Structures are given as structure tokens and as C-alpha cells.
């Protein structure tokens, strides 16, 4: 049979990751409700009460569930705002959560994807202007090469992804937030690369990013401009091929997008097969 301390360490790890007590089918469920009963009826030792209080055990029964990703986003915001990881004095919950992830990693009990995301935090520990401009330059180069935004799932894109997530949050300018909002000049620079500040505008911004890329490409080349793009692998050709399919379906492209495509010239009109 497991000792009380072993159960305690397991529920501590669970609460750090999930933020609320386990559901009925979870192996820790029965133990948790036994401790809740004993806590309320004074049947635990003073040391056990102290340990449970340290992990907010009793409040976890009414707490809303926080996913690991939610905690991670909070950590990114803190580091972006203050240039360092949180400590026990300024953010007890987040500091405890981060320490628990380190403990789990040491015991090989943390998903590899989570380990990589936590390692990506190292790139965010200094958020002065030079560092912001450096990260912005990397993002600008990335979108100019790939014509898309970084993915969380790609190992070599996780640092940029973490940074873009923090920019979206800081652009909201929430008066109750503990982090500093983006300044006007930062917002303007992000607008230059069609940065999507929320999911609702992601499609339109991505479309404009590719459109402007295609426009610049056509301006740099002479006759048979599309021949200079490798049709099967270049992201701009993939995008243009999608416009042709969308136009053929007749229910995806907006009138404005069709008009902009026409402005790119006859070669694009012929490729997409736009009616004049």
C-alpha cells in the first residue's frame, strides 16, 4: 500500500498540471475525498494539513481546471513582461507549477513536448527593446521564407511560437493584466508582416501575407514570372494553386480578394482562370 506521502506527491503533481481535483474515474479520486473528509473533521496531523494547504488542496475541489498549455501561456506572459521566471514571492502558484514541472522532468514523468516548450522559455528571459527587435526580425524572416506563422508542433519553431503567443496576449491591453501591453511602434511593426492578433483575423492576415509575397515576386521578375517558382514545393505556388481551386468552387474567395488577384496581372488571371 502506498504511503500518505506518496499519495501527496502524486496529487501535488496532478494539481500543478490540472489546477483542480481529479474526476471520479481517476486513481487518486478516492484518496482525495478521504483527505477532504479528514481535513474537515480534524482527523489529519498538523504537518499533513500544512502540506495540503501548501498545494491549495481544499480549494482545488471548486477550482476551474487549467490545462498544462494554459499554465504555460501564463508563464510565457510573465517572462515576457518581467524578463525572468516567477519566484515564490511575486507569483506563488506559477512558481510552484514551474518547480513541479522541473521535478517531473527530473523523474522522467513529463511529456517530451512539454520539456521542449519549457526549454523554449530560455529565449524569453530578457525582454528589453533589443531582444524584442531581435525576435521580431526572426519572425519577419520566417514569414518571408515560409509565408505562414510558426507552429507549436514544430520543434525548431517553438521559440518563435511562444513569442508570438505572448505578443497576442500583450496586444489585448487588458487593464487588469499584470504584464505591460505592446507599445504603438511594436503594434505597427507587427502589422507590417500581417501578424494575426487573434484567431478571427488569422485567415485574412495569412491571405494578405501570401498576396504581398506574390506581388513582390512578380515585380522582381519579367516574362513568365511564375516559371521562376518551383510549382510543387514553393509556398507561393501552393497558395496560388489554392486560390485557383477556391475560385473554381465559387464560395471561398471574397470580391475584394478576386479584385486583388486581378491587379496582379494577366498571368495570374490566366492561371487562376478568373472571369473578366
- 102 with 13: CB under 8 angstroms? no
Residue 206 clears pLDDT 80, i.e. is over it = yes
Average pLDDT along the chain:
82
- Cβ neighbours around 179 below 10 Å, total: 19
Judge if 156 and 137 occupy the same domain: yes
Judge if 179 and 82 occupy the same domain: yes
Of 181, 196, 211, at which residue does a domain stop?
196
**Domain count across the chain:** 3
What pLDDT is attached to residue 223?
44
User: What domain range is 253 assigned to?
Assistant: 201-272
Of 196, 214, 232, at which residue does a domain stop?
196
Judge if 111 and 183 occupy the same domain: yes
What pLDDT is attached to residue 42?
87
Judge if 82 and 114 occupy the same domain: yes
The model's pLDDT over 94-130, given as tens digits with 9 standing for 90+, comes to: 888 888 888 888 888 788 888 888 887 765 554 456 6
Judge if 121 and 205 occupy the same domain: no
Judge if 74 and 120 occupy the same domain: yes
Judge if 192 and 206 occupy the same domain: no
The alpha carbon of 8 is separated from its chain's Cα centroid by a whole number of angstroms, namely: 31
Amino acid at each position: 500500500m502506498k504511503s500518505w506521502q506518496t499519495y501527496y506527491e502524486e496529487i501535488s503533481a496532478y494539481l500543478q498540471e490540472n489546477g483542480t481535483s481529479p474526476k471520479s474515474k481517476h486513481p487518486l479520486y478516492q484518496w482525495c475525498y478521504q483527505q477532504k473528509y479528514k481535513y474537515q473533521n480534524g482527523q489529519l496531523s498538523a504537518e499533513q494539513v500544512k502540506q495540503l494547504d501548501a498545494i491549495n488542496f481544499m480549494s482545488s475541489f471548486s477550482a476551474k481546471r487549467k490545462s498544462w498549455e494554459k499554465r504555460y501561456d501564463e508563464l510565457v506572459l510573465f517572462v515576457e513582461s518581467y524578463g525572468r521566471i516567477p519566484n515564490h514571492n511575486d507569483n506563488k502558484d506559477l512558481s510552484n507549477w514551474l518547480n513541479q514541472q522541473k521535478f517531473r522532468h527530473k523523474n522522467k514523468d513529463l511529456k517530451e513536448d512539454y520539456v521542449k516548450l519549457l526549454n523554449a522559455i530560455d529565449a524569453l528571459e530578457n525582454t528589453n527593446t533589443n531582444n524584442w527587435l531581435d525576435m521580431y526580425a526572426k519572425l519577419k524572416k520566417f514569414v518571408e521564407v515560409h509565408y505562414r506563422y510558426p507552429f507549436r508542433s514544430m520543434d525548431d519553431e517553438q521559440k518563435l511560437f511562444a513569442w508570438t503567443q505572448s505578443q497576442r496576449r500583450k496586444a489585448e491591453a487588458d487593464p487588469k493584466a499584470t504584464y505591460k501591453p505592446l507599445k504603438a511602434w511594436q503594434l505597427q511593426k507587427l502589422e507590417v508582416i500581417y501578424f494575426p492578433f487573434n484567431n478571427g483575423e488569422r485567415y485574412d492576415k495569412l491571405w494578405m501575407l501570401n498576396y504581398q509575397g506574390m506581388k513582390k515576386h512578380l515585380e522582381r521578375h519579367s516574362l513568365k514570372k511564375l516559371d521562376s517558382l518551383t510549382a510543387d514545393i514553393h509556398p507561393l505556388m501552393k497558395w496560388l494553386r489554392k486560390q485557383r481551386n477556391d475560385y473554381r468552387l465559387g464560395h471561398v474567395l471574397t470580391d475584394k480578394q478576386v479584385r486583388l488577384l486581378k491587379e496582379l496581372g494577366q498571368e495570374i488571371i490566366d492561371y487562376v482562370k478568373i472571369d473578366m
